[in-house]
Amino acid sequence: MKKNMRIIKKSITGVLFTFFAILALFTNQLKAEPGEFHFGIDGGLTYADMKAQETAQQIANLSGSTVTYTYDEATWAGRLYGDYGIAENMDVELGWWITGSLDATYTISGASATESYTMSAVDLSLKYDVDGSPFFVKGGIHRSTLEGAATVTISGTEYNIADSITGTGWLLGGGIDMGDSRYGVTYIANVGGDSDSSTAFGYYGFRF
């Protein structure tokens, strides 16, 4: 069942990737309407489940010892982007975002080590401004990298627990435009191409 769900998630990601890539690249030609180019910056927090409990259990199985742990639930994130109007109330956005590190610390018999993850991505999305309101919604695709320490060393013993992965996924979000500034939340699925990894990015930004 779990294997089937992963196959379904990968299929959905592939379909969305193809759909948004084609739509973003060719909608402007289909509309045949000139637009304006803008750029902006968003900053805020990204929230993610590091699955520290699973890693602690993995280390416990390898070491045969009890492992305690602490972990971060959020870190800072920033995004730079450019957008181009392809139709009334609709823009194409191309963005690049990075995060600070999410850290988890594992302890065995008083000896500790820290595992750190950072994320980066390039995204392509369509943003639609709801008529007669300040609200907007967006959806798109991303190619992201999740970088993690390959090993954790505790008391001179190395435990292989993480690695760096890169892959594609999809995103959905929305928010409120307030003149040249905006508030929003974006859900980013399949970080690093891993169907079990996702994050939510809450932000405040400026558009120029």
CB 163, CB 151: distance < 8 Å: no
Return mean pLDDT, the chain: 83
Q: What is the pLDDT of residue 19?
A: 53
Average pLDDT of the segment spanning 36-40: 91
CA gap 4, 189 in Å, rounded: 18
User: Which pLDDT belongs to residue 15?
Assistant: 52
* Count of positions (residues) in the chain: 208
Is the pLDDT assigned to residue 66 strictly greater than 80? yes
Count CA atoms within 13 Å of residue 186 on its CB side: 33
Q: Which residues pair with 117 in a beta bridge?
A: 102, 148
Quick: pLDDT tens for 83-110: 999 988 899 999 999 999 999 898 988 8
pLDDT in tens, 142-155: 999 988 876 777 77
Provide the percentage of residues in the chain whose pLDDT is more than 70.
Answer: 83
Whether pLDDT at 7 is above 70: no
Q: Are 142 and 167 in contact (CB under 8 A)?
A: no
Decide if domain 2-207 falls under CATH 2.40.37.10.
no
First to last CA, the chain: 48
Best CA proximity match to 192, nearest among 128, 160, 136, 144: 144
**SS3 (DSSP) at 195:** coil
| Greater pLDDT, 200 or 11 | 200
User: In this model, does residue 40 exceed pLDDT 50?
Assistant: yes
For residue 133, pLDDT over 60 is answered with: yes
Q: Specify whether the CB–CB gap between 117 and 147 falls below 8 A.
A: yes
Given a contact cutoff of 8 angstroms between Cβ atoms, the answer to whether 49 and 3 are in contact is: no
Distance CA 117, CA 74 (A): 11
Pick the more confident residue, 54 or 169.
Answer: 169
Higher pLDDT, 196 or 78: 78
Q: Tell me the range of 55-64, 157-166, 190-199 where mean pLDDT is highest.
A: 190-199
In the DSSP assignment, the letter for residue 192 is G
